[in-house]
Structure 1
Amino acid sequence: MSLARTLARRAAVQAVYQWQLARDSLPDIERQFVEELQLAKSLYRRHAEGFELSPPEREQLEELLEKFGRSQGTDNVEEEDVTLEQRASQCQVPDVQVGYFKELLHGVANNLALLDAALAKYLDRPIDEVDPVERAILRIGCYEFMRRPETPYRVILNEAINLAKEFGAAQSYRYVNGILDRVAHECRAVEMAARRRG
């Protein structure tokens, strides 16, 4: 499981969520996220090299690390109590595979009817009534099952569960797991059968 791909999925969930709610144009959303990712890398690099950041730059870096960085070890600390130094030392450098982020964002939007039809078989309500965060995660996971056969289904499923734990409601990871596991049985039947035999 590549950290750069994990972070690309994390950014894609936020971008798909934004697209679902606001229906902004995909190029505008993509541009916004890519610019923010580039700024995050630049500020993080300057901070790591010991350059003094201005107060607005420090604030921007904190926000961008929260948005794009993968936290490690701050689970039991109140968010407002985490300093920039703590956040920077406990986050992975926001090194996102931008190409993969773009593929996920556009892949979901361009295959929406196909993805929603595959998910609808296993949902307990219409797709538009599913929580927007869960919906974004489900669509991305379903896209990867269908269009990224080289990525093992367990990786896709685990990544979706982790995203639901991070962004979703308290028990949404169970819902995401249940739906995507059923989709995987349909889309990746051969892979799953081989795994059971091996």
Structure 2
Amino acid sequence: MGEERARPSRGRRDRREDLLAAAARRFVAAGIRRTTMEDIAAEAAAGKATLYRHFGNKDAVIDALLAREAERFERRLVAAADDADGAAVGVEAAFLAGVDFFVTHPVLTRGRDEESGVLLPRITADGGPLVRRGLDIFAGLIQDGIAAGELREVDPPTTAEVLMRLVLSYFAFPPMHVRVDDPREAAAFAHALVAGGLGAEPRPR
């Protein structure tokens, strides 16, 4: 009985994901401002009524898409930090992963570049899902490093905010002097930032 009741829920989630994937494709191809709910339904091979049952309007589609991408953003940061050797390197790796996530994301960059600015305010808002996830992850990594004696005593929320604002600045204003698409140059910058600029370097033993 429990499995039978769960099937419609899974089917609804799958359909919702299909609709969001279709919306992402249309946003990249035609632009967010020009994409209509009818376009999204057609891309998903779904009826308009189906789309409207899941999302009341295009704003709801955008918000749901950003919430989904926030979950992916969190997983990317965590995976990067988990693969690193040590807390400081983990913070550096998460920072680089965050920059890469934003500057290479087709929907986010399309929304950034549109004249209407329909997506950028949602992305960079302090209360937005992407910012919240980033702040939580960075603060947690820094706190863990301090507790382990690997990082200096800094204020985790404040330092996390600096890191997240830098990630967003690279997204909103493409860099002129640091090539974030060059792994070695980006890594050197991240190391200098974390080890020096933020004072989050390993403690002397």
Taking structure 1 as the reference length, the TM-score comes to 0.23
Pick the structure with greater CA Rg: 2
By relative contact order (CA 8 Å, sep 6+), the higher-ranking structure is: 1
